[in-house]
Amino acid sequence: MPDTVTPRQAQGWLASGRAVLIDVREPHEFSAAHIPYALSAPLAGVAAMLKDMDLPADRKIVFQCQKGGRGGQACAAVGAVAPGGQPVFNLEGGIDAWAAEGLPVVGVSPAPGVSIFRQVQIVVGLLVAVGVIAGFLISPAGFVVAGLFGAALATAGITGWCGLALLLNRVPWNRP
C-alpha cells in the first residue's frame, strides 16, 4: 500500500516548495478542474513521463487523481521511490478531498454532465445486458459477447487504459 498524504499536508508541502504534485487523471478531467500548480501526466504513461521530467531530487512527489484510486496505481507503477530518488505519495481522497477541505481548485472548462467513467459503465452495462438477453433468446453466442465486454471492462480497470473512454471523449456532448 502506498504512502499517503492528507490534502492539508500536501498543501503545506506544495506551498513550501517541498513537493511536486502530479495529476494522473485523463487530460479532459484535468482541463475540467485541477489543483493549482499540478502537472498533468495521465496514469497510462506516468512512469515513462516521470523519467523524462527531471524533477528536483529534494522534492517529494505527490500523485493525485479524482478520489485516490488512480493515484495509488501511479505510486505502485513508480514504486516507493521515483527515478530521481524522490519519495512518492498518494493524495488521500484525490481532488475531491482537496476541494472538500476548501482548498483551491482551478476550473478551466465545465465537466460533462455525466463523467466519462459513468458513461463507460452505462454503455458496457447495457452491452452486457443485451448480450445476456440475446444469449437466452437468440443464441448462446450472446453469452460470449457479454463475457468479452465484461473482460474488456476488467482489463480497463486493471490497466487504466480504456478504448471506449477515448472514443467517448470525442463525441460532441463531451467536448468543452
The 10s digit of each residue's pLDDT in 35-80 is 998 999 998 888 888 888 888 888 999 999 999 899 999 888 887 6
The predicted pLDDT at position 9 comes to 94
Antiparallel, parallel or unpaired: β 60-64 and 4-5? unpaired
Q: What letter does residue 104 receive in the DSSP assignment?
A: -
Adjacent-strand bridge partners of 39: 22
* Domain spans, the chain: 4-100, 116-174
Above 60 in pLDDT, residue 111? no
The predicted pLDDT at position 112 comes to 52
The set of cell numbers assigned to 157 is 480497470
The predicted pLDDT at position 52 comes to 81
- The residue assigned the cell 437468440 is 138
CA-based nearest residue to 160, from 83, 89, 76, 39 = 76
Q: Quote the mean pLDDT of the chain.
A: 86
The 10s digit of each residue's pLDDT in 14-30 is 999 999 999 999 988 88
Residues in the chain: 176
CA-based nearest residue to 3, from 49, 47, 52, 60 = 60
- Architecture of 4-100 per CATH? 3-Layer(aba) Sandwich (3.40)
Residue ranges in the chain assigned as alpha helix (H): 7-15, 27-32, 46-53, 69-78, 94-100, 116-137, 141-159, 163-169
Classify the C-alpha dihedral 90-92-94-99 as positive or negative: negative
65 is catalytic: yes
- Percentage of residues of the chain with pLDDT beyond 90: 41
Query: Which range, 113-127, 135-149, 151-165, is most confident?
Result: 135-149
The predicted pLDDT at position 141 comes to 93
Predicted structure pTM score = 0.64
Classify the C-alpha dihedral 118-119-124-129 as positive or negative: positive
Residue ranges in 33-115 assigned as alpha helix (H): 46-53, 69-78, 94-100
Q: Which helix (H) or strand (E) holds 64?
A: strand 60-64
The predicted pLDDT at position 109 comes to 47
Q: Residue 106: what are its φ and ψ, rounded to 5°?
A: -95, 125
Of the residues 35, 65, 95, 97, only one is catalytic, namely: 65
